Amino acid sequence: MILTVTLNTALDLTYRVRSLRPRASHRVTDVIERPGGKGLNVARVLAALDHEVTVTGFTGGATGATVRALLAEVPGVTDALVPVAGATRRTVAVVDELAGDTTQLNEPGPQVAPAEWAAFLRAYDGLLSGASAVALCGSLPPGVPVGAYAGLVRAARTAGVPVLLDTSGEPLRRGVAARPDIIKPNAEELAELTGSHEPSRATRDARRRGAHAVVASLGPQGLLAVTPDGAWRAAPVAHVHGNPTGAGDSAVAGLLSGLVEHLPWPSRLARAIALSAATVRAPAAGEFDRAAYEELVGRVAVTGDVSVAQRP
């Protein structure tokens, strides 16, 4: 079983409009609801890849009830979410069909009480015993300690469970120091962590700070991975147009599934790139176009440079 942790779950709403214009009224042509938050998106993609997945984190209120009802319809995903008194947040993606762009609106999430955090920690410790890998994903809701991910990384390492961390800011900085197996920052998050805007230098610096392997998302330029086994760049064969919401989460699913299947790094990166591109082509967050994935996975360009991992 793969465990994904989403402390700040969401109900993802995708609105499609013909053209998004400021200060104007719009007719929505389509509305899609999905259980969201980064870890839930990761779980849905993993389940579609035929992995058994358990999701945990927080959920509450009427929005949380909708999230759980929608999760119950996803084959292969087990709900182990922890209830809170506050209401689960909503995220709204507005897709401009004419421009091909997406505007994202994210609510902050519910206030988590100390007793609710303690209940989650007990649930998490119990779930680790049956996990083959764990993904810690997304932002922290109000009330959760800023060092929360560092503690969750240490607990996974103590249990002998490989852990992937995908967050940003101070939670990422503290989490890296706890020595996760993989981190997956984007270029902005990596620069904030290391102070360097040069990806190769920044990824090496992130490894020195504690991460076992660093996979940096460089947008249209693909992924840069620096690991103990070497360094690789992976890129799609062409730019993909569509809705980018959830594309990074699909990349995490590719990396995590490759980890538990013991794939070599180039195969993990090719899968991550293909899943990410196939998600951009899909109409809703956290979904991927399977036909596009199967078409793209064999066409990802992965180039290696073992020396990068050893440079100072």
Q: Kindly list the catalytic residues.
A: 249
The C-alpha atoms of residue 233 and residue 187 are separated, in whole angstroms, by: 14
Radius of gyration of the chain (CA): 19
The C-alpha atoms of residue 51 and residue 218 are separated, in whole angstroms, by: 27
Which contacts qualify for 294-299: CB closer than 8 Å, 24 or more apart? 296/236, 296/237, 297/270, 297/271, 298/270, 299/236, 299/237, 299/274
Nearest Cα to Cα of residue 159 among 136, 132, 120, 183: 132
Cβ proximity of 288 and 282 under 8 Å = yes
Angle, vertex CA 251, rays to CA 158 and CA 44, nearest 5:
80
Q: Return left, alpha or beta for 163; rule: phi > 0 is left, psi -120 to 50 is alpha, else beta.
A: beta
